[in-house]
Structure 1
Amino acid sequence: MRAQFVLSEIGVGLRRNLTMTFAVIVSVALSLALFGGALLMREQVSTMKDYWYDKVNVSIFLCNKTDASASSKCAKGAVTTQQREQIQADLKKMDIVENVIHETAEEAFKHYKEQYGDTAIASVITPDQMQESVRVKLKDPEKYKVVATAFAGRDGVESVQDQRSILETLFNMMRSVNYAAVALMLLMLVIALMLIINTVRVSAFSRRRETGIMRLVGASSFYIQMPFIMEAAFSGLVGGAFACVLLVAGRYFLVDHGLNLAEQMPLVNFIGWDVVLAQLPLVIVIGLLMPSVAAFIALRKYLKV
């Protein structure tokens, strides 16, 4: 009997405040979709870092004849065979180094032509202008500075470049987008909470006569508050479900179909469905708890029911 009464009161409350309930559902759905999107973006950045950091190298560019006249770091002339062999030998002795590959100027020129053969500048570049280099694969990419400190400034070395720094620009941009999504999510969350609190207050005020009678016949405060809390929980649950639909649809249309980024950007290791599905229960739980707690606080603080 009590359960039936609570359910009937929930139905009455939802019908009386249909417009505000719809607004709560939409705001909760958007805020939770942004929350889930921020989580997925963080996972995407982490996945890409793990994928690319495992593949990046430290490149030690050696001086050539052109550098000898153009760069102060190569004032002693182009790298000699002895210097090159010594650099490779010293690298192989380092515990943090996994692999060492020497790329000649001719090989560098060939790779350059393969990548930029259609450009105007490629037609005037000659092999002797290309730098030979030593590609260093580190066991731990974070130890780049050890190599840079050991070899920067050595005779025959023009520069030491960490390819990871190139990727950091991309990752920083993605983090900025993620922070913007979090900020927007927090704004939507505040709006959703304000709507929930206002909806509960309006609903309780419109039923003040019924709640007054229930108080007179000895109903507990929790029993009186339960329909209002359940209304908010229902709205949050529906909003959370819509947020899950948006997240799944976003992954489906952005990566697998629609924009089909998986094929358009084959070098990007996108997060899988397992990561997306793993976030959905959290979104549902937050969608259920957040309005319930907000409604409980609103009833306790603002309304005497």
Structure 2
Amino acid sequence: MTQHTVEKTSLSLLGLGAMGSALGRAWLAEGHGLTVWNRTADRARPLVAEGAKQADSAAEAVAANSLVVVCLLDDTSVEEALSGADLEGRDLVNLTTGTPAQARARAEWAHERGARYLDGGIMAVPPMIGVPQTGGYVFYSGSQELFHRHRETLAVPAGTRYVGRDAGFAALHDVALLSAMYGMFAGAAHAFALIRKEDIDPASLAPLLADWLAAMAPAVHGTAGQLRSGDYTRGVVSSLAMQVAGIPTFLSTAEEQGVSQELLSPYFALMRRRLAEGRGEEDLTGVIDLLVR
């Protein structure tokens, strides 16, 4: 190497599904040495053609490099793949989708076997990997030392966001954001259903819907502020009582349009419960307290 050459960290990658393969291609494109393993060996061929080394077993892949990234189907797959591997002294980064409890248990499992552990939650789909302008990123939690040691390498496929030493926090952030996404999709599905039988082009509603959702999104900052302060009446623009009074209009419109109320009814039921507790002057933030058991 010349004095201006930066040596690229070599790593091992276990799991070559759509996401794992995208991660591997990104590291190879940036000149990182890569050893790969997949239960179905044929899936390694495209990456081998691009310069990766193929290991015959997960244990062999783990032995090849100190940095080991795992991106498998589920937590059970991780344990099965690594059961025969020597993890002593390895830096294990687990990008397999799982729950916070699974991440915490896997961190303990890794530590008992002499490995340092970092858990990750990928906020991207495979086409976004290796394409910085798409805005994809990965939540990381667990060993802060491990994160800083490999941050540049981990940032190659997607941006990085470290969210704490608790190994479960990456999965928790991941599921929290995805849960909000599905709530948004549910609202959008109801909106499209309302116009489905009318002479209204869905393509004409789409930009209005996108703009409206974008305009409403900053309200989450107000919710966060109320949760931190404990004062759910602070900065209220439309009170809970006022919004509950409008519920019959939404339900009647759905009935008139021949649309099921099942996506809206659970949330409306929580709003009515909170109002029944005498919290009509609040914002909608109090619904959160009804959800926490």
Give the TM-score band, short-chain normalised: under 0.3
Rg larger in 1 or in 2? Answer: 1
Higher strand share: 2
Higher helix share: 1
TM, length-normalised to structure 1: 0.21
